[in-house]
Amino acid sequence: MLFFTTYKSELFASFILLVVLLIIRLIAKTLIRKIGHKAGINDARIHLISRYATVTLVLIWMLVETIIFGAQFKDLALVFSSVFAVIGIALFAIWSILSNITSGIIMFFNFPYKVGDKIMIHDKDFPIEAIIEDIAAFQLHLRMDNGDLVTYPNNLILQKPVTLLKKDAMLFPQDDGTDAV
């Protein structure tokens, strides 16, 4: 009980912070869902971007909590510099993964092509003409005309010129009612 009386104001501030961040999370998830449905993005990608927003809010909450409970800036600077040094070394090794995740987030909010569209990627070494089958966190799944599945990294799709060949192209041809003999 001594803990609650000693840290009454800090606990109250923590409660207020938690409520505010939960409200912000609810608003963010609602906005992400509305933007996603308006743009015709599938629910799995909407859920993924919502998780990214939640993780960001949790990190902000942890930072503000340490300040509420009296951590000094110099202490935080020491911790963050040490953590960022370790993370920096680790991220250098996996920069491609982070680049693809960041590209996936950018593609969620601003990507003119959707699942089902037939596109052409103008790559001088390996030009691709395919239908977008899925847009995942790290790569696009593209179905070639011959049936092959090509995975194309998100960061590269933002760097290459892309032409929309057919909006909402069908993944599989429809049966026209005639039977081949």
Strand partners, 153: 139
Would you say residue 181 lies in a domain? no
Mind listing the pLDDT tens digit for each residue in 24-50?
999 999 999 999 898 888 888 899 889
Would you say residue 172 lies in a domain? no
| Cα–Cα dist 23/2, whole Å | 31
| Cα–Cα dist 109/119, whole Å | 19
Would you say residue 179 lies in a domain? no
- Whether 67 and 147 map to the same domain: the answer is no
Q: Please, is 130 exposed, middle or buried when counting C-beta atoms within 10 Å of its C-beta (0-12, 13-18, 19+)?
A: buried
Domain boundary (30, 58, 93) is at 93
- pLDDT confidence tier of residue 171, bands split at 50, 70 and 90: low
- Whether 20 and 52 map to the same domain: the answer is yes
Would you say residue 101 lies in a domain? no
Mean pLDDT of the chain: 84
Query: What is the extent of the structural domain holding 146?
Result: 111-166
Q: Are 49 and 105 in contact (CB under 8 A)?
A: yes
pLDDT score of 82: 81
Domain boundary (59, 93, 127) is at 93
- pLDDT confidence tier of residue 120, bands split at 50, 70 and 90: very high
Mind listing the pLDDT tens digit for each residue in 123-143?
888 889 999 998 888 889 999
Would you say residue 180 lies in a domain? no
CATH of the domain at 22: 1.10.287
In 18-161, beta strands by DSSP E:
118-121, 128-135, 139-144, 149-153
Domain boundary (37, 59, 93) is at 93
Would you say residue 130 lies in a domain? yes
